[in-house]
A and B are shown apart, each in its own frame.
Chain A
Amino acid sequence: MIKNAPYHEAVRDYEPLAERPLPPAAGLREDLLHRYHPDYRPDCFTKLTVGPNAGDPCHRRLAGILQSDSRIDEADLAASPEEEADVLVIGGGGAGCSAALEASRAGARVILATKLRLGDSNTVMAEGGIQASIDKDDTPQMHYEDTVKGAHGQLDRGLAAQMVMDGPDVIRWLIQQGMQFDLDEYGDLLTRRAGGTSAPRVLYFRDYTGLEMMRVLREAVFNGDVEVRDYCPAVELLSDQSGHCAGAVLSSLKNYKYSLVKARSVIIATGGIGRLHLNGFPTSNHFGAVGDGLVLAYRLGARLRDLDTFQYHPSGLAYPPHLAGTLITEGLRSAGAYLLNAAGERFIDELKERDQIAAAIIRECAEGRGIDAGHGQCGVWLDTPSVERRRPGVIERRFPKLLHLGTKCGIDPREQPMLIYPTLHYQNGGVVINKRGASSVPGLYCVGEVCGGVHGRNRLMGNALLEIISFGRRAGAAAAKRAHGFARTPKKIAMEHLSAFRRELMLAKMPLDRTSPLLFPEYAKFDNDSDYDGLRRNARVDG
């Protein structure tokens, strides 16, 4: 039995020091990822048996919801109200909002449906910043090469190249929507370094970058022509006689009724899967992040990729227990915060890629050099006092969210280090898209975390906020353009694809009593909630 140092003893033994050298023995071992990163545990994965990715490896939990039946039948839709739009956007985070704004500005009639409220998303929780190559010693080529290296080379190079070239214009677009960034005394954008990068390239607003982005985009959408349907999760896509995407079925949490939105283009921007708590990890993700978009796209026949790789953010809060998993920005390590084990020793270069750092933290704890917080949770120190000692006042100036979190924990991060452990943060893979955000199903576009290929097997800090705006704008424009090409709506719009998928499930002898999308995490007991009898009960999916 491995025994880590008890929390209160470790707090007592901790000594704030401005400088600590990295021991030479802390160099990377070749097998660090293979031995300690959760992506490399073979028992967590299975092969998909139905759908376009049959035969591909996939996390068991995700495979369970991908290979489940729909929550609804054609019969559920009798007498449901219908409406039409040029473009239907599903998801109200940063990707959905930027897509909706651009589609609307291109003249399309846009409906944006979101499961909860507009802006309830992972975007609002992003802290560290957004990458864009703007410093004179930096180039888009360097940004591209860092992205490829971080991804372990397993990415769609064309998508990454386009994204980094979009970077500076994405920042201009955000400023034009009214987003503020941290500036120096002359009004230039400040930059900080992301782990695994060759130049300072992350632009930010305090440690509230996502909040600032999201509240500005939300305001822009509310003040524009986009029609927002909040509390309306999509439960199934609609298809026409050719199998092309033709809209979606929404389920209102306000009046417990289904409604159909027929659309010439559909953009899925539903984000990731953190709230599935893969491998028992806590998560930094939003309440609604349970993989709805992946399920909807897959059932309609869209190809997915890299379903066996997820990002565990190195610095999720590990103590106190009720806040476990809460994100602490990589910006702190960028500002020079050390990672320390119970002995007060550094054990890895704090600006390596996220997967390496997460694996190193897991190793320290697994080998008894961590700190035991009780409740089965362990972790290592994020040495915030070291940053404050070197640059007094920097935490208050640049990291107000951390200070607020400290208040909730009863810890002053300027005096005492925070206990951290990796937290499930990001779905690296997802729907295969082209440079316009189009999936392999005509009429279906996907943007943001729901997509794969841009970040390969490991995403860099700040590339997600860049991706959602870069691809969001492009998909919005492309979806609007496609919609204009239609003379009229196709005659027969239904859910024909469901019968084909059910047939496949039956032939593969898969259980038919599981339904998806889940819509909400299991512990919210959504499907037992008598307030929500408009939806059928969802069988519990084990994994």
Chain B
Amino acid sequence: MSEDKAKLINLTINGKDISAPASLSIFQALWHAGYPRVKGAGCLQGVCGSCRVFVRRADSNEVTTELGCELLIEEGMDVNFLIYPIPPHQTYQLSDIPNSWEVQVKFHDIFPEADQCRHCGGCSTTCPKDIEVERGVALACEGRFQEAGELFVECVMCNLCQTACPELITPNHVAMFSRRVTAYFHTRPSNLINRLGKMHRGELQVVE
């Protein structure tokens, strides 16, 4: 380990030249080099989607999107932070959907652009969690909400897919809609319902 520590990695972050020991993340390297960084810092454990970065590696023309807390620094990397994700432009209330037969119609009312997918694959390419984003949108358009939602178990709502979409689809919010209607209309656990009934009838109390 001490050899790794001695070796400094050189890279550029937001235009600043940084040298830092290997095995640091982008954030740790910035702080190590003495640069303050608050914007984009979140959970620092890969679940909040705050620290979105563009990355170009040495000898490559390809620009990838990753999370700055999870990404380890590499020699010659060029990193730029993206900040302030765009808030979603649609609004809906689950309680406005009268019953589960109406979910598909409501979905297309709320997300009219979802049908316009050009299949460019930009959303899936940008996803730092390797989710099949485009397929998820297609499934939701077909009304297969549970299946669509299950693709997004690891989604951290970093909004990169939304940024990538030329048709202004908001795939992560399509996914959240799919997941939420699945719970709202179909999660009916008998063990919970029985317990709620007992409590409602006053059969269970706590004696302090």
Residues of A at the B interface (CB closer than 8 Å) are 116-117, 119-120, 124-125, 132-136, 139-141, 144, 157-158, 161, 164-165, 168-169, 171-172, 175-181, 183, 186-189, 206, 208, 210-211, 215-216, 218-219, 222-224, 231, 253-254, 284, 286-287, 320-322, 326-327, 374-375, 400-401, 404, 408, 520, 523-526, 528-529, 531-532
Q: Tell me, rounded to whole Å, the shortest Cβ–Cβ distance linking B196 to chain A.
A: 5
With known contacts A120-B43, A177-B180, A525-B36, A141–B206 Cβ distance under 8 A: yes
Most B CB atoms within 10 A — which of A136, A178, A188, A401?
A: A178
Q: Which of B57-65, B90-98, B114-122, B131-139 contacts A (4 or more CB under 8 A)?
A: B90-98
- Does residue B15 face the partner (Cβ distance < 8 Å to A)? no
Whether A116 contacts B195 by the Cβ 8 Å rule is no
B181: A residues at CB distance < 8 A:
178
- CA A210 to CA B45, docked complex, whole Å: 13
Residues of B at the A interface (CB closer than 8 Å) are 1-2, 23-25, 28, 31, 34-39, 41-48, 50, 70, 72, 84-85, 87-88, 91-94, 149, 153-157, 173, 176, 179-184, 187-192, 194-196, 199, 204-208
Q: Tell me, rounded to whole Å, the shortest Cβ–Cβ distance linking B54 to chain A.
A: 19
Q: Tell me, rounded to whole Å, the shortest Cβ–Cβ distance linking A137 to chain B.
A: 11
Whether B43 contacts A125 by the Cβ 8 Å rule is yes
Name the residue of chain A whose CB is nearest to the CB of B155.
Answer: A215
Whether A134 contacts B192 by the Cβ 8 Å rule is yes
A161: B residues at CB distance < 8 A:
206, 208
Name the residue of chain A whose CB is nearest to the CB of B46.
Answer: A404
24 contacts between A and B (CB under 8 A): A120-B50, A132-B192, A165-B199, A172-B192, A177-B94, A177-B184, A178-B94, A178-B176, A178-B181, A178-B182, A178-B183, A179-B180, A181-B187, A188-B191, A208-B154, A215-B176, A218-B157, A223-B88, A231-B39, A327-B45, A401-B47, A408-B70, A524-B38, A528-B36
Whether B50 contacts A400 by the Cβ 8 Å rule is no
A532: B residues at CB distance < 8 A:
36, 38
Name the residue of chain A whose CB is nearest to the CB of B157.
Answer: A215
Residue from the list A140, A375, A528 in contact with B204, Cβ < 8 A: A140
Q: Tell me, rounded to whole Å, the shortest Cβ–Cβ distance linking A543 to chain B.
A: 20
A183: B residues at CB distance < 8 A:
187, 189
Q: State the 4 A-B residue pairs at the shortest beta-carbon distance, nearest first.
A: A178-B180, A529-B36, A525-B36, A161-B206
Whether B204 contacts A139 by the Cβ 8 Å rule is yes
B153: A residues at CB distance < 8 A:
206, 208, 400
A141: B residues at CB distance < 8 A:
204-207
Residue from the list B34, B94, B196 in contact with A172, Cβ < 8 A: B196
With known contacts A119-B48, A523-B31, A176–B184 Cβ distance under 8 A: yes
Known: A169-B199, A177-B94, A206-B153. 15 other contacts (CB 8 A): A116-B42, A119-B157, A120-B42, A141-B206, A177-B180, A178-B176, A187-B189, A208-B47, A215-B155, A284-B45, A321-B23, A401-B47, A520-B38, A524-B37, A529-B38
- CA A210 to CA B43, docked complex, whole Å: 12
- CA A119 to CA B85, docked complex, whole Å: 13
- CA A136 to CA B43, docked complex, whole Å: 37
Q: Tell me, rounded to whole Å, the shortest Cβ–Cβ distance linking B191 to chain A.
A: 5
Whether A189 contacts B157 by the Cβ 8 Å rule is no
- CA A254 to CA B1, docked complex, whole Å: 40
With known contacts A133-B195, A253-B38, A524–B31 Cβ distance under 8 A: yes
B156: A residues at CB distance < 8 A:
211, 215
Q: Tell me, rounded to whole Å, the shortest Cβ–Cβ distance linking B203 to chain A.
A: 10
- CA A532 to CA B39, docked complex, whole Å: 10
Name the residue of chain B whose CB is nearest to the CB of A165.
Answer: B206
Q: Tell me, rounded to whole Å, the shortest Cβ–Cβ distance linking B152 to chain A.
A: 9
A144: B residues at CB distance < 8 A:
206, 208
A524: B residues at CB distance < 8 A:
31, 36-38, 41
Q: Tell me, rounded to whole Å, the shortest Cβ–Cβ distance linking A471 to chain B.
A: 16
- CA A158 to CA B207, docked complex, whole Å: 10
Whether A222 contacts B88 by the Cβ 8 Å rule is yes
A525: B residues at CB distance < 8 A:
31, 34-36
Whether B157 contacts A180 by the Cβ 8 Å rule is no
Name the residue of chain A whose CB is nearest to the CB of B35.
Answer: A525
A164: B residues at CB distance < 8 A:
206
Whether B208 contacts A287 by the Cβ 8 Å rule is no
Q: Tell me, rounded to whole Å, the shortest Cβ–Cβ distance linking A385 to chain B.
A: 23
- CA A541 to CA B208, docked complex, whole Å: 42
- CA A124 to CA B156, docked complex, whole Å: 9
Q: Tell me, rounded to whole Å, the shortest Cβ–Cβ distance linking A359 to chain B.
A: 25
Most A CB atoms within 10 A — which of B155, B194, B199?
A: B199
Name the residue of chain B whose CB is nearest to the CB of A8.
Answer: B1
Name the residue of chain A whose CB is nearest to the CB of B208.
Answer: A157
With known contacts A215-B155, A321-B23, A525-B31, A180–B179 Cβ distance under 8 A: yes
Name the residue of chain B whose CB is nearest to the CB of A162.
Answer: B206
Most B CB atoms within 10 A — which of A132, A187, A215?
A: A215
B37: A residues at CB distance < 8 A:
524, 529
Residue from the list B36, B149, B189 in contact with A188, Cβ < 8 A: B189
With known contacts A157-B208, A253-B38, A223–B191 Cβ distance under 8 A: no
Name the residue of chain A whose CB is nearest to the CB of B37.
Answer: A524
Q: Tell me, rounded to whole Å, the shortest Cβ–Cβ distance linking A165 to chain B.
A: 6
- CA A218 to CA B48, docked complex, whole Å: 12
Residue from the list A168, A208, A287 in contact with B195, Cβ < 8 A: A168
Residue from the list B48, B72, B180, B199 in contact with A120, Cβ < 8 A: B48
Name the residue of chain A whose CB is nearest to the CB of B1.
Answer: A374
- CA A378 to CA B82, docked complex, whole Å: 36
- CA A515 to CA B34, docked complex, whole Å: 22
Whether B195 contacts A134 by the Cβ 8 Å rule is yes
Name the residue of chain A whose CB is nearest to the CB of B154.
Answer: A400
